[in-house]
Amino acid sequence: MTLNIHKDQIRANNLKHQVQLPDGTTVPAIGQGTWFMGENPALAKQEIASLRLGVELGMTLIDTAEMYGSGGAELLLGEALQGIREQVFLVSKVYPHNADQKNAIKACETSLKRLKTDYLDLYLLHWRGNVPLEETAYVMEQLVQQGKIKRWGVSNLDTDDMQELWQEPYGKNCTVNQVLYHLGSRGIEYDLLPWCREHHLPIMAYCPIAQGGSLRRELMINKTVMALAKTHDCTIAQLLLAWCIRSGDVIAIPKATTTKHVIENAQSSAIELTMDELAQLDQVFTPPTHKMHLDIV
Ligand code: NDP
């Protein structure tokens, strides 16, 4: 009973922390990732339970990709979504080599089949390959027309790619850019994040608790980070998530497979960092002062 009341509170708080997409749809600032899920049958039950608990706690955006586990993550997610599909904002990603006129429709249909659903809420180009952005944008629009996806976006595109996309027919219909972002990897703050803000395009932050990217080891042993976590009576992972979503226009998609981690992540939106605390973090993990390569994993 106590746990149920607690769950309601956590969910209510996540409902308060939403990010608005360009079409006005709102999604929770903290969602869930699925990379490395669906790869070990012995873990499937636990992974499904984690994702479902996360949804219950208000982390209703779930990110996956045709690449993860060669379709295994989508298959697992298809199981996890049974009975709760309509509560979830479902995101998947297409391989760059499939993001063309010839292959994208089939790739999307295959993802839908694995996910046991007939539409995606968001479909992303996983990273830029050899297919012209114009062609990808065109085929994404076709998928929207066919009702297979509600909207589309991109991932791992830097500022120059975004500028190019914006010049293409339909390019401005891009809804989100999913990139690596955490306190130890702030390169996007120099130009990509400002560009996206100027164009009202939310960033979806992957590796928000620093599974990959720059300075990840330094983060976990940093005295300021540890002291602030103590002040807020939270873990370092929770502090990193709170930092990631601090501005209200960034969506973080941590991946977690234990009940403890899922609950911690869901509680992170309740942590409010003060201006002074953010300034302390800026002192140790400084914002970029020049153009940096886009961090990727
Ligand atoms: P994350 O930063 O989310 O880190 C995941 C790791 O953190 C796992 O080992 C997990 O362990 C652990 N963890 C989760 N919650 C906690 C917690 N509260 N305390 C301590 N440890 C915790 O990295 P990801 O690489 O998974 O990124 C998130 C998601 O972003 C991916 O799952 C994927 O959906 C997406 N992504 C997209 C990419 C792209 O190119 N577009 C690239 C990489 C990721 P455990 O599983 O044991 O709970």
Token digits of residue 223: 């005295």
- Counting ligand 1 atoms within 8 A of each CB, the residue from 211, 244, 257 with the most, and so the one to mutate, is 211
Residue 5 confidence (pLDDT) above 70:
no
Tens-place pLDDT, residues 52-83: 999 999 999 999 999 999 999 999 999 999 99
**Residue 1 domain-assigned?**
no
Tens-place pLDDT, residues 92-134: 999 999 999 999 999 999 999 999 999 999 999 999 999 999 9
> 213 in helix, strand or coil?
coil
- Can you tell me the distance from the alpha carbon of 112 to that of 237, in angstroms, rounded to the nearest whole number? 32
Q: What number does the ligand 1 atom closest to the CA of 124 have?
A: 41
**Residue 142 domain-assigned?**
yes
| Residue 68 bears catalytic tag | yes
What pLDDT score was predicted for residue 2?
46
**Residue 290 domain-assigned?**
no
- Counting ligand 1 atoms within 8 A of each CB, the residue from 95, 122, 209 with the most, and so the one to mutate, is 209
**Residue 100 domain-assigned?**
yes
189: left (phi over 0), alpha (psi -120 to 50) or beta: alpha
**Residue 145 domain-assigned?**
yes
**Residue 194 domain-assigned?**
yes
Q: Cβ(66)–Cβ(20) under 8 Å?
A: no
What pLDDT score was predicted for residue 217?
87
What pLDDT score was predicted for residue 195?
98
> Mean pLDDT over residues 219-237, rounded?
96
Model-level pTM greater than 0.85? Answer: yes
What pLDDT score was predicted for residue 1?
39
Q: Which amino acid is at 231?
A: T
> Mean pLDDT over residues 154-166, rounded?
98
Residue 3 confidence (pLDDT) above 70:
no
Q: The domain containing residue 82 runs over which residues? A: 7-284
Q: Which amino acid is at 238?
A: Q
Q: Which amino acid is at 144?
A: V
Instruction: Give how many domains the chain has, as a whole number.
Output: 1
Average predicted confidence (pLDDT) for the chain: 96
Around ligand 1, the residues with Cβ closer than 6 Å are 33-35, 63, 126, 155-156, 178, 206-212, 235, 237, 253-258, 261, 264-265, 297
Catalytic residue among 68, 123, 170, 206: 68
Question: Which 8-state DSSP code applies to residue 127?
Answer: S
Q: What is the CATH number of the domain that holds 87?
A: 3.20.20.100
**Residue 291 domain-assigned?**
no
What pLDDT score was predicted for residue 171?
98
Q: Cβ(31)–Cβ(253) under 8 Å?
A: yes
**Residue 178 domain-assigned?**
yes
